[in-house]
A and B are shown apart, each in its own frame.
Chain A
Amino acid sequence: KNQVEQSPQSLIILEGKNCTLQCNYTVSPFSNLRWYKQDTGRGPVSLTIMTFSENTKSNGRYTATLDADTKQSSLHITASQLSDSASYICVVSANNQGGKLIFGQGTELSVKP
């Protein structure tokens, strides 16, 4: 069964600190992996999209890594800011089923001053 599991479920860090969010998937055949940021009461916004051949991708203070062999991805946030408080969603696309997207349940990040 195609699944995307994220950990931790929630995380509280102090402003200025770094953190890493994890995503494990069992989707096969794999096409790409995406990270989205969802602010409270808003729609998700894309941070990165990585294909099979990419193992790291950055977007400002956000860096995503992908290990297609172990089927794991991480999202590293550097020098966190209060505005980073949000839910971070990992999404994996299957290369069959018309590119079906499988969504993780999200990690709720809270950055405290």
Chain B
Amino acid sequence: DADVTQTPRNRITKTGKRIMLECSQTKGHDRMYWYRQDPGLGLRLIYYSFDVKDINKGEISDGYSVSRQAQAKFSLSLESAIPNQTALYFCATSESRDSNTGELFFGEGSRLTVL
């Protein structure tokens, strides 16, 4: 089983629909992240969480929200999906609070298409 599991792996939805992407990890890491990947662009940080009570916005948080339900679970929501949110979404974890040295472990990705 994967250490970082994302569901669903693929999702097609319509404009205006609410979508939730879920991430769970068995690595016991405190830090969890949501990234978005678009063709020709580097991964961009949407939200990150140091622990259950700590949620921080990344560089492109508009239109997204997150929930850290437990140390192992971090979900990403699109309250009203729009076509330019079509992308590949990755959840990641890291062990160290000092992300200067903590290695990132990524999930397999969730491909979202908004029509």
Contact = CB atoms under 8 A, between A and B. Distances in A.
Given A43-B107, A45-B106, A46-B104, A98 B42 contact: no
Interface in A40-54: 41-46, 49, 51
Q: Interface centre among B4, B98, B106, by most A CB within 10 Å?
A: B106
B100 A103 contact: no
Interface residues of B, number: 20
B8 to A, nearest CB: 14
Given A34-B104, A89-B42, 9 more contacts: A32-B101, A43-B106, A46-B104, A46-B105, A89-B43, A95-B100, A99-B98, A104-B42, A105-B40
Contacts of B90: 43-44
Interface string A93-107: 101001111111110
Interface of B: 4, 40-45, 90, 92, 98-101, 103-109
Interface string A4-36: 100000000000000000000000000110100
Contacts of B42: 4, 89, 102-106
Contacts of B100: 31-32, 93, 95, 99
Contacts of A103: 42-44
Contact of A41 (B40, B103, B104, B109): B109
Contacts of A51: 101
Contact of B103 (A43, A49, A89, A105): A49
Contacts of A42: 108-109
